[in-house]
Amino acid sequence: MQPANYFKHLIKETLAILLYNMRFDAASRLTNNSKSAPVIFYYHRVCNPEDDFLSSPDLVVSKNNFEKQMEFIKEEFNVLPLDDIIDRLKKGKTLSSRDVAITFDDGYIDNYIHAYPILKKYGIPATIFITTGHIGSNNLLWWDRLSLIIKAVLCTKIKWDDYFSDLLTRELKNILSNEKALKRSLTPLTNYLKSVGVHKREAIIHYLGNTVLKSESILPQQRVFLSWQEIKEMSGSGITFGSHSHTHAILTELDDKDMNRELSFSKELIKENVGMEPKGFSYPDGCLDDRVKASVITSGYYYAVQTNRLLLRSLTDIYSIPRKMIKESHSRGCFREFSKALFTMELSDTANHLFLRNVRRKNPYKH
């Protein structure tokens, strides 16, 4: 951790400890009488620190930290299957912010290897929204390919001004040249790539792969995503599965025909291979508009979740349910130990307010 980031994290953890010692309870802070609503948490990956997990660190929670998080959530909240929460909401039954659900997006294999045994240990149900076109494969999603490229960039002294391509704009060169920023976060780079459209995004990633890795194809040796066999095993032990589309295409970038295929084909594959029709849908990268939402409803999904960071006090739109993403830093203290105080502050949504975090409101993708 960089000195400046360490200092900021130290201040944050100190404040969290002060609040925690004042009996600042996460579940109580979330509860708001009759206007309260259940809270949905979501993860992507659970890995050992030594794993070569390819993804951006922002998407990964370490196995040990994840277990501590689950133990804490089990103690402090009433953890329910997401499908049950939706059923109760639709029937008008009372729920509070002490009622929570655990979800995962994408369907990485570590959900089975690392997360699943921990969930079973604590008797915690969860929903995994799977990208059906990647099941059983080692094909990387575009941000994972990008992460692999940037790891190589940081090990290689590349002078981007020596490269001439219409794909390498001045803005992109500036982002790629800022090694300190790239080590902290890939967000500026991924935000840029989200804004240029799917075809140019793919062209840039292929170009960077050729330039840095000397290869157009970036395929790891190991399998990256869950298999149908693993999914079947988990589906009988407290884990439910929903759709995250077929190829993780950004639905707002697609025409109606392609979008409907993403929604319907993934739904059919899950029903065929798991034996149960999925109720829920998770918008890839949380991107939706009225057209996309209407297609999700027409495709027969019972509800849909997104990635807005706000913890809303009521759920009025069952096809645009907000979730809070849980990260490694949300409960890891300055000495790399689990911090109950820090995690309490994060789960209560106080950190967003105290540190004036930006809440994602606008679709970053070009469409």
> pLDDT of 184-207, one tens digit each?
888 899 999 999 988 999 999 999
Percent of the chain, pLDDT > 70?
Answer: 80
Q: Which residues contact 81 (CB under 8 A, 6 or more apart)?
A: 101, 125, 126, 127, 238, 240
The pLDDT score that the predictor gives to residue 43 is 96
How confident is the model over 328-344, as a mean pLDDT? Answer: 78
How confident is the model over 148-163, as a mean pLDDT? Answer: 87
The pLDDT score that the predictor gives to residue 32 is 43
> Which has the minimum average pLDDT: 39-53, 68-82, 120-134?
39-53
Q: Which of 128-137, 302-311, 346-355 has the highest mean pLDDT?
A: 128-137
Residue 1 pLDDT more than 70? no
**359 vs 64, which has greater pLDDT?**
64
**Would you identify the CATH topology of the domain 3-138+221-354?**
TIM Barrel (3.20.20)
**318 vs 341, which has greater pLDDT?**
318
The pLDDT score that the predictor gives to residue 187 is 86
Residue 133 pLDDT more than 90? yes
Total-model pTM: 0.87
The pLDDT score that the predictor gives to residue 309 is 54
Ramachandran region of residue 262, left (φ > 0), alpha (ψ -120 to 50) or beta?
alpha
Give the residue from 32, 36, 33, 128 showing the smallest Cα distance to 89: 36
The pLDDT score that the predictor gives to residue 55 is 74
- When pLDDT is cut at 50, 70 and 90, the band that residue 212 belongs to is confident
* DSSP category for residue 98: T
**14 vs 239, which has greater pLDDT?**
239
The pLDDT score that the predictor gives to residue 8 is 56
- In SS3 terms, 246-297 reads as CCCCCHHHCCHHHHHHHHHHHHHHHHHHHCCCCCEEECHHHCCCHHHHHHHH
Q: Where are the domains of the chain?
A: 3-138+221-354, 142-213
Q: Which two tokens stand for residue 125?
A: 């149900």
Q: Which of 127-141, 147-161, 210-224 has the highest mean pLDDT?
A: 127-141
The pLDDT score that the predictor gives to residue 25 is 53
Element (H or E) spanning 106, and its range?
Answer: strand 99-106
- When pLDDT is cut at 50, 70 and 90, the band that residue 219 belongs to is low
SS3 at position 144: helix
Residue 21 pLDDT more than 50? yes
Phi, psi of 268 (to 5 degrees): -65, -40
The pLDDT score that the predictor gives to residue 85 is 94
How confident is the model over 310-328, as a mean pLDDT? Answer: 78
Residue 355 pLDDT more than 60? no
The answer to whether the beta carbons of residues 283 and 289 sit under 8 Å apart is no
**113 vs 332, which has greater pLDDT?**
113
Residue 361 pLDDT more than 60? no
Q: Which of 77-81, 177-181, 212-216 has the highest mean pLDDT?
A: 77-81
Q: Cβ of 245: how many Cβ atoms within 10 Å? A: 25
> Which has the minimum average pLDDT: 22-36, 203-217, 331-345?
22-36
* DSSP category for residue 231: H
Residue 338 pLDDT more than 90? no
The pLDDT score that the predictor gives to residue 293 is 95
CA distances (Å), 50 to each of 54, 113, 352, in order? 11, 14, 30
Q: Which residues in 277-311 are b (16+ Cβ under 10 Å) and which e?
A: ebbbbbbbbbbbeeebbebbbebebbbbbbbbbeb
The pLDDT score that the predictor gives to residue 34 is 42
